[in-house]
């Protein structure tokens, strides 16, 4: 399962990724703002 996490605070983004990794998720895409989140979504989740 792919997961996209978005947060403009670097520490919060790292914490979220660490929590998800601890829960066993491996395919995590990170974005630090809305523009990069939309770009990552389009590149990763669109067919």
- Domain positions in the chain: 2-45
Rounded CA-CA distance 21/7 in Å is 16
pLDDT of 21 higher than 70: yes
Q: What is the mean pLDDT of residues 21-28?
A: 97
Q: 38 is written with which tokens?
A: 């939309």
Show the beta-strand stretches assigned E in the chain: 2-6, 27-31
Q: What is the mean pLDDT of residues 11-23?
A: 98
């Amino acid at each position: 399962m792919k997961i996209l996490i978005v947060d403009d605070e670097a520490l919060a983004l790292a914490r979220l990724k660490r929590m998800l990794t601890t829960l066993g998720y491996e395919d995590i895409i990170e974005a630090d703002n809305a523009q990069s989140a939309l770009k990552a979504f389009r590149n990763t989740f669109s067919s």
